[in-house]
Structure 1
Amino acid sequence: MADGRAARGARTREAIVDATIALIREQGAAAVTHRAVAARAGTSLAATTYHFATLDDLLVVAFELLTDRTVAEVERFRDLVLAGDVGLIEAALDFVEQLDAEQGFGADGMLELAYGAMRNERLRKPTRRLVDHLSAPFADLIGTDSARILVRALNGVLLYHRAVAPGRLDHELRSDVTTLFDTFGLTGAVRQRLEED
């Protein structure tokens, strides 16, 4: 009996976190309320507040899970690029346009986390963790410090493009990403790695 209750509790908690992720992806972190999450998860408000007493608790858990999923997706793209299966810029733009919440939260989620961290100190640690983890797949190519700065700069480029042309890729974004990767030496490092293999 206790095992069944624990399993139901774990499923409810997972549904709550998944509902939070969906709300963040669709409407932004500002849309996350206990009531909105409960409605989206198909659970009671009491269950939502039982598992996550504060919205901060819920947002931290959701962003940490999204970070793990996003890093896994970046690593997958990196492996495809280094295997020569996809070009570097195409992989980056695919990541930017990614909308599958099961795989991560892509560019919009990274921006939501950064916005949240400006106002919520508890989200600053997940924000630093995200940058560190997103830069790790490129550290062996261009160095740890350059990889971290590249990820931060890419966030700025994405913020600009999401603000002026939300929901669509354009030539200017492709050009900006290409210039950024060239400037940090990532394009050349990938080319060299492919030639060595």
Structure 2
Amino acid sequence: MVTSRGAHQERSRERREALLRAAIELIAQSGTRAVTHRAVSARAGLPPAAAGYYFQTAQELIEQALRFHVRERSATLAALIESIAQAAKTARELGERVVEALIRGQSGVSVAQYEVYLEATRNPALREVVQESMSAFEQVAAGHLERLGVREPAQAAKAFVAIADGFALHRMASPLPYDEDFDLMVKTLAGMILAHRMDRAALDRLLG
């Protein structure tokens, strides 16, 4: 049986999430400067004072929205990679299916995420939450990279996320034909994985 207090708490949670999603939509559409209490409340279809009730400042709202978005995207990415890993029969198939999912946007990459990354270069207060978001994605990647035999999977995961983010940014600004994008990304990630599977001496010999 749901009590009146429980129902109130559920409505409050739903309102807060609606505001966070509205903030992410505004960031994706117009950047972080578009995030005001009034604008976010209107976007969420709530009274003008709603956002101010849950978040004292626009800065707090932006930070909480990014954290919320990252948690959702990390969960999506983890579930996606896990399902791919279970179905793939070889490391090559695993890599190709991951790349295909990233290109088709199944990992939940959004413009809002990169808007906040850019804003963090001007606003030191956002750097901590950006670092948290990057760390969350790296943790998802690290376990699967370890299964592929890479040395120091935590370091390899940093490279994986940087490559995936770089390709995603180019894809948003100047998309390549699918086949070309797929081929370039597979080769780039394969090269990174091979380099991280080699010991230092072998890598130094390869680099001449």
TM-score band by shorter chain is 0.7 to 0.9
The equivalent of 1:42 in structure 2 is 45
CA distances 1:133-189 after superposition (whole Å, capped 9, x unpaired): 212233242311111122123212222232223xx7633321331122111117x98
| Match runs of 1:125-136 below 5 Å | 125-136=128-139
Choose 51-60 or 27-36, whichever is displaced more.
27-36
Q: CA deviation at 1:2?
A: 8.4
1:146 alignment partner AA: A
Tell whether the 8 Å contact from 1:81 to 1:88 is kept in structure 2 after alignment.
Answer: no
| Match runs of 1:71-150 below 5 Å | 71-85=74-88, 87-98=94-105, 105-140=108-143, 141=146, 142=150, 143-150=153-160
The equivalent of 1:153 in structure 2 is 163
Cα RMSD of the aligned pairs, angstroms, is 3.0
Q: 1:70 to 1:169 in 2, by over 3 A?
A: farther
Alignment pair present for 1:56 and 2:59: yes
Q: Secondary structure at the match of 1:185?
A: helix
Q: 1:78 to 1:65 in 2, by over 3 A?
A: same
Tell whether the 8 Å contact from 2:25 to 2:112 is kept in structure 1 after alignment.
Answer: no
Distance 2:8 2:82 in 1: 41
The equivalent of 1:176 in structure 2 is 184
2:99 alignment partner AA: A
Distance 1:173 1:108 in 2: 19
Q: Identical aligned pairs, as a percentage? A: 23
Unmatched tracts of structure 1, length 5 or more: 190-197
Q: CA deviation at 1:38?
A: 1.1
How many residues were matched structurally?
183
The equivalent of 2:26 in structure 1 is 23
Tell whether the 8 Å contact from 1:15 to 1:41 is kept in structure 2 after alignment.
Answer: yes
TM-score by length of 2: 0.72
1:152 alignment partner AA: A
Tell whether the 8 Å contact from 2:66 to 2:113 is kept in structure 1 after alignment.
Answer: no
Q: Secondary structure at the match of 2:49?
A: helix
Tell whether the 8 Å contact from 2:117 to 2:130 is kept in structure 1 after alignment.
Answer: yes
Q: CA deviation at 1:115?
A: 1.5
Q: 1:6 to 1:135 in 2, by over 3 A?
A: closer
Q: CA deviation at 1:79?
A: 0.9
Q: Secondary structure at the match of 2:87?
A: coil
The structure with more radius of gyration: 2
Q: CA deviation at 1:76?
A: 1.3
